[in-house]
Structure 1
Amino acid sequence: MSALDPAAVDQWRNYAGRTEERRQILELESLRRFALAVDSDRDVERHMPPLGHWAFFLPEPEDRDLAPDGHPKKGGFLPPVTLPRRMFAGASIRFHRSLVLGKEAVMTSMIKSVEHKNGRSGELVFVTVERIIAQDDINAIAETQNYVFRGEGPPALLPEPSAHPIDGELWQPNEANLFRFSAATFNSHRIHYDLPYAQQEEGYPALIVHGPYIAARLAELAQREAPLTSFSFRAQAPIFLGQSIRLRRDGAAGEAIRCDGAVAMSSTATY
């Protein structure tokens, strides 16, 4: 039996079809800061960093509009789902043409669907958002983002490192790396920088490495082969700061592997 108010769930479903349009000059230094945050080439005039469009159209809440967890308060563009935890679960991105720096772009967002389900961990609400970035009325990037809202759940345990070697490129971000990525994306969610909050309020054993940060590193690994025409990823398990991460690719498929051998994120690229 659902603990959520059915009338509220129906109200959230009615957000499907809602649109939002934003305009922005694609400023060079914002992109350079993003490139540095993901350890990419700072010469962004010649080399677009992996998933560099995430440097633009950032959330802009005022201080009074922040919730205690650092996220913008509920009730803006996304439906005001009352479940306390929100996660960026994955995305599918198509690259149609390069963005032109120093020029205005338009991002049109549309809520495609809102779905309520019961999972093994309790009730879940999935929200799918389509974002189109265009310049001169021509689509440059089309992205479908997937969010999941869930209950608090039991405290998470720190994974035990595997006794067996794990293949892949070693990546070990530190606190400064997480801070820089949060700053470059204007992400104030406290689980990425406030250890007492992450442990005491959200039940995590350590700071959480941003899902988009992991995705950007997997995209960088994929685009060493050739420029990407599409990239998709799905978060499967959290990665905790201070534990080793292995990034690996097999053809079009990529994975971020935790120290215990679990797949934390999977990805697929096309060229």
Structure 2
Amino acid sequence: MEVMRIEPQTITHLQEWLGKTETLQDKVTAAPVKALSATLDRSDPTPNDGTFLPELWHWLYFLPCALQSEIGPDGHPKRGGFLPPVPLPRRMWAGSRVQWLAPVAVGDEIERVSKIDSVTHTAGRTGDLIFVLVKHAISNQNGLALIEEHDIVYRDAPGPDDKPVAPTPAPT
């Protein structure tokens, strides 16, 4: 299998997405909180309006609802809308940083403003990698509640004879 190489003009094209924003609204409802509590085998009472979400449970909201015909081969909405049309087929979550400024509670009307903050290219042990940094700002009726930086990495598909790369040992 031939390794896909990213040409400089492709990087230039992908960087046209820098600064692109997407704004979504949602309402913090009890059902997803109750469902995640059950999944985690927690016997939390059904949350009422005003019950604060545990940290990271904001991920229960702003879920994409793309039509089946608008879903790409990776199971996510097709690229080229908000996210740049990176030609590498494998998409992975490479990390996040979250800064909590205020609580988010059941009953809150919330808004997420997402922005493409950077698109960078590097060569890794397995070939070309494209990193996209998305910054999310989530607000409720009281103002800005949290800021999240989300790192997405795109890479080539493995060849049929490729062996997994051994992980780098943690420093001791």
TM-score, with normalisation over the residues of structure 1?
0.54
How far does the alpha carbon of each residue in 1:76-118 deviate from its partner, in whole angstroms, 9 at most, with x for none?
A: 2110000010001110011111112122111110111000111
Give the 3 Å change call, closer, same or farther, for CA 13–44 of structure 1 in structure 2: farther
CA distance in 1, matches of 2:63, 2:27: 12
| Partner in structure 2 of residue 150 of structure 1 | 155
Matched residue count? 161
Structure 1: which 5+ residue stretches go unaligned?
160-235, 238-261, 264-271
Q: Is 1:29 matched up with 2:31?
A: yes
Q: What is the aligned-residue RMSD (CA, Å)?
A: 2.4
| Partner in structure 2 of residue 17 of structure 1 | 19
| Partner in structure 2 of residue 211 of structure 1 | none
Deviation at 1:137, TM superposition (A): 5.4
Deviation at 1:61, TM superposition (A): 0.9
How far does the alpha carbon of each residue in 1:215-268 deviate from its partner, in whole angstroms, 9 at most, with x for none?
A: xxxxxxxxxxxxxxxxxxxxx79xxxxxxxxxxxxxxxxxxxxxxxx67xxxxx
| Partner in structure 2 of residue 122 of structure 1 | 127
Residue identity (%): 32
How far does the alpha carbon of each residue in 1:97-153 deviate from its partner, in whole angstroms, 9 at most, with x for none?
A: 111212211111011100011112110000001101101251111100000000113
How far does the alpha carbon of each residue in 1:171-221 deviate from its partner, in whole angstroms, 9 at most, with x for none?
A: xxxxxxxxxxxxxxxxxxxxxxxxxxxxxxxxxxxxxxxxxxxxxxxxxxx
CA distance in 2, matches of 1:24, 1:134: 11
TM-score, with normalisation over the residues of structure 2?
0.82
Give the 3 Å change call, closer, same or farther, for CA 83–148 of structure 1 in structure 2: same
1:40–1:49 CA contact under 8 A, matched in 2: no
CA distance in 2, matches of 1:15, 1:83: 16
1:22–1:107 CA contact under 8 A, matched in 2: yes
For 1:36, the aligned partner's letter is: A
Give the 3 Å change call, closer, same or farther, for CA 138–116 of structure 1 in structure 2: same
Runs of 4+ in structure 1 over 6 Å off: none
Give the 3 Å change call, closer, same or farther, for CA 78–41 of structure 1 in structure 2: farther
Q: Is 1:95 matched up with 2:100?
A: yes
2:74–2:90 CA contact under 8 A, matched in 1: no
How far does the alpha carbon of each residue in 1:26-67 deviate from its partner, in whole angstroms, 9 at most, with x for none?
A: 111122223333444533635634410000011111111112
Q: Is 1:68 matched up with 2:73?
A: yes
For 1:15, the aligned partner's letter is: W
Structure 2: which 5+ residue stretches go unaligned?
none
CA distance in 1, matches of 2:124, 2:94: 15
Q: 2:115 aligns with which of 104, 110, 118?
A: 110
Structure number with higher helix proportion: 1
Moved more, 93-102 or 104-113: 93-102
Q: Secondary structure, in 3 states, of the residue corresponding to 1:14?
A: helix
2:111–2:138 CA contact under 8 A, matched in 1: yes
